[in-house]
Every structure is written in structure tokens, then in C-alpha cells.
């Protein structure tokens, strides 16, 4: 069965159309990303901005055409942090339901389900990791930390109410941010980690997914044009993460976009995301961060193929 998965996040909306590979994995038929900024202002207002909804539904119309062209037999649309926080979420879900049609499943998932799907997807592209594994999925509105095993067993999972857009809008208001703003943002991340009940210090494999981390890897590799094949499997030391974070925090969004592999819309929030990743990596310690291009989108598709019952919030 061919399936279509849509991950509707705080910064981006992404599509994956895939077939089963017969070995428990995926054969990719189409993969797209659009920067829609759905979470614009949600942290401050508690609701979706009409222009953000318009950008997101326009992307969904394009995705619907691609899904139809590929003849996917099952479609699932998953919305995460921004939709969890928005009081007017139906302003998004109603038009998306009409665009994707009655056969599509639409879910606003909770942090636990988001963590599980991210872990499932990341494991599909992680080779043979050593247990225990720690996954970091650094998003725009929230960050999922999942500790588990390569057999797919989730031992611990937390969803931090911290992400690149949320940190940018709350703390890093200048461009580039002032030192005082950086200090407050770091303190907020440390407080969030301190309140999270998860062991970050005894992991043997540290895996990172999502656009903040893949962009940090591309910059560390010195890429002028983003290359998914080179980013997947890249290894970032604690020093690598610290250097690229310092570079981003001392640069404006325009300067970050000019570096080459970072989309201009991601450039506006990338320094905040990097700060978040840097703080978490410091808590993990010496373990190298392995970058994976397989993430929650792959997890949604694998769930569809397995016929698993998703858990909406």
C-alpha cells in the first residue's frame, strides 16, 4: 500500500509519499517541505494568524495534487506544537479536511505521541545504534527528547515547551540577539531541562532530527548548497555544536541565509534552535550527535503501513 504522511509543524509543513520496502522500511516516492510559519504569533496570542493559516492551506492544496498523482491509498495529516497551543485550531483543520478529502485522517497529537513517532522514524534511518539511545527532535514550538532502545522500546519521553520559534519570539528579539537575551534564553532552556524527568547523561547513541539540527550539520560540513545525502549520518561533536551555535548567535538572519544551505525563512529562527540544541548537548556530555534525515514524517508513514492506531490529543 502506498501512503502519504503530512507533518504540520510550527515552522514547516512536509509531505512524504512512500511504499513499503518489504523489510520494515520505506521506499520514498515524493518528499517536499514548505516554510509556512504556522506558529507565527501563537505563543503571544494563543491563536493562529489568518495569514499563517492561508500559507499552510495553500501548501496543503499543492500536497493534495501530489498525493493524487501518486495514488496514495492512505493519508494522515499530523499537527504538533502550534496546533496544540492554538485555541482556534479548527480554522486550520476544517479547510485542510476539505482539501485532503474524507479519506484522510487529521490529528492534533500530544507530545507523547509526537515523541513516539519521531523515535520510530529516526530509528528507521539510524543503522545499528547502541543502547540506550537518546533522540532529540528540535522543532519550532516544542522539542521532543526520547530515550529508548533500537528494538523500538521507548523508555522515557518528554516534550519540552521550547522550540526555535518560541525561543526567538520570547527571548532573542534583536537581530542578532544581544548577550543579555542569549543569557535569558539559555536560562529558560536549563530550567526546562531541570524540570524534565529524563536521563540525559548515560546514553550511548545520541540521534538528532529535524531542520535545526540538519541545518547545523550542513553548516558544520561547509556546504554551500544543502545536500541531504551528505547531511544524513553526519556526526557533530560537542565542540562542533558549540562553534556553529556561537557563529549563528553572532549573525543576523540575513547573514545566516547568505551562508548558503539555510532557507531564508529558517534563518530567522535558526540561532534560537541552535542555542537549544547546544544546551541539551552540554547536558548529554561527550557523546557525538548523529544527524538523521529520517524523523517524525517517516514515523507517520511507517505507522500507516503498520496499521497502527494513532492517539490524538
220 in a structural domain:
yes
Tens digits of per-residue pLDDT, 4-37? 999 999 899 999 999 998 888 899 999 999 999 9
Tens digits of per-residue pLDDT, 30-69? 999 999 999 998 988 999 999 999 999 999 999 999 999 9
The CATH number of the domain holding residue 71 is 3.30.420.40
Q: Looking at the structure, do residues 160 and 106 belong to the same domain, yes or no?
A: no
Q: Looking at the structure, do residues 263 and 301 belong to the same domain, yes or no?
A: no
Tens digits of per-residue pLDDT, 193-226? 999 988 888 889 999 998 999 999 999 999 999 9
Q: Looking at the structure, do residues 153 and 276 belong to the same domain, yes or no?
A: yes
Q: Looking at the structure, do residues 183 and 255 belong to the same domain, yes or no?
A: yes
Q: Considering the entire predicted model, what is its pTM?
A: 0.87
24 in a structural domain:
yes
Q: Looking at the structure, do residues 172 and 222 belong to the same domain, yes or no?
A: yes
Q: Looking at the structure, do residues 156 and 301 belong to the same domain, yes or no?
A: no
Q: Looking at the structure, do residues 39 and 58 belong to the same domain, yes or no?
A: yes
118 in a structural domain:
no
Q: Looking at the structure, do residues 22 and 143 belong to the same domain, yes or no?
A: no
Q: Looking at the structure, do residues 300 and 280 belong to the same domain, yes or no?
A: no
pLDDT at 265: 85
DSSP-derived secondary structure for 107-176: EEB-HHHHHHHHHHHHHTTS-SPPSSEEEEEE-SS-EEEEEE-TTS-EEEEEEES--HHHHHHHT--SSS
Determine the structural domain holding residue 220 and report its residue range: 126-291
CB 296 within 8 A of CB 117: yes
71 in a structural domain:
yes
Helix axes 111-123, 296-306, angle to 10 degrees: 90
Judge whether residue 141 has pLDDT over 80. Answer: yes
CA atoms lying within 13 Å on the CB side of residue 310 = 26
CA distance 235 to 220: 10
Tens digits of per-residue pLDDT, 248-294? 999 999 999 999 999 888 999 999 999 999 999 999 987 899 999 99
pLDDT at 117: 92
The CATH number of the domain holding residue 147 is 3.30.420.150
Count the neighbouring beta carbons within 10 Å of the beta carbon of residue 32: 14
275 in a structural domain:
yes
Q: Looking at the structure, do residues 145 and 260 belong to the same domain, yes or no?
A: yes
313 in a structural domain:
no
- Our separate counts of H helices and E strands in the chain read 13, 11
pLDDT at 313: 46
Banded model confidence at residue 81, pLDDT cuts 50, 70, 90? confident
117 in a structural domain:
no
Q: Looking at the structure, do residues 36 and 100 belong to the same domain, yes or no?
A: yes
81 in a structural domain:
yes
Banded model confidence at residue 309, pLDDT cuts 50, 70, 90? very low
- The number of distinct structural domains making up the chain is 2
Amino acid at each position: 500500500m502506498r501512503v502519504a504522511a503530512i507533518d504540520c509543524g510550527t515552522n514547516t509543513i512536509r509531505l512524504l509519499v512512500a511504499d513499503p520496502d518489504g523489510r520494515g522500511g520505506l521506499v520514498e516516492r515524493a518528499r517536499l517541505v514548505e516554510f509556512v510559519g504556522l506558529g507565527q504569533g501563537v505563543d503571544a496570542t494563543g491563536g493562529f494568524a489568518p495569514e499563517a493559516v492561508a500559507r499552510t492551506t495553500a501548501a496543503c492544496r499543492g500536497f493534495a495534487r501530489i498525493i493524487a498523482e501518486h495514488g496514495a491509498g492512505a493519508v494522515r495529516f499530523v499537527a504538533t506544537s502550534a496546533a496544540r497551543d492554538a485555541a482556534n485550531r479548527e480554522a486550520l483543520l476544517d479547510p485542510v479536511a476539505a482539501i485532503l478529502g474524507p479519506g484522510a485522517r487529521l490529528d492534533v497529537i500530544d507530545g507523547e505521541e509526537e515523541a513516539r513517532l519521531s523515535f520510530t522514524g529516526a530509528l528507521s534511518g539510524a543503522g545499528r545504534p547502541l543502547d540506550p539511545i537518546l533522540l532529540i527532535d528540535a522543532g519550532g514550538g516544542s522539542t521532543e527528547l526520547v530515550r529508548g532502545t533500537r528494538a523500538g522500546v521507548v523508555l522515557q519521553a518528554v516534550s519540552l515547551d521550547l522550540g526555535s520559534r518560541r525561543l526567538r519570539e520570547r527571548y532573542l528579539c534583536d537581530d542578532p540577539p544581544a548577550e543579555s537575551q542569549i543569557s535569558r534564553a539559555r536560562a529558560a532552556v536549563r530550567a526546562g531541562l531541570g524540570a524534565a524527568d529524563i536521563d540525559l547523561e548515560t546514553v550511548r547513541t545520541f540521534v538528532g532530527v529535524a531542520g535545526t539540527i540538519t541545518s547545523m550539520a550542513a553548516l558544520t560540513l561547509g556546504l554551500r548548497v544543502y545536500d541531504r545525502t551528505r547531511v544524513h549520518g553526519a556526526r557533530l561533536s560537542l565542540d562542533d555544536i558549540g562553534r556553529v551555535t556561537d557563529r549563528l548567535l553572532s549573525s543576523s538572519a540575513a547573514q545566516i541565509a547568505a551562508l548558503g544551505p539555510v532557507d531564508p525563512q529558517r534563518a530567522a529562527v535558526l540561532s534560537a534552535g541552535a542555542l537549544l540544541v547546544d544546551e541539551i548537548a552540554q547536558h548529554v556530555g561527550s557523546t557525538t550527535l548523529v544527524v538523521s534525515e529520517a524523523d517524525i514524517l517517516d514515523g507517520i508513514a511507517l505507522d500507516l503501513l503498520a496499521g497502527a492506531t494513532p492517539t490524538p490529543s
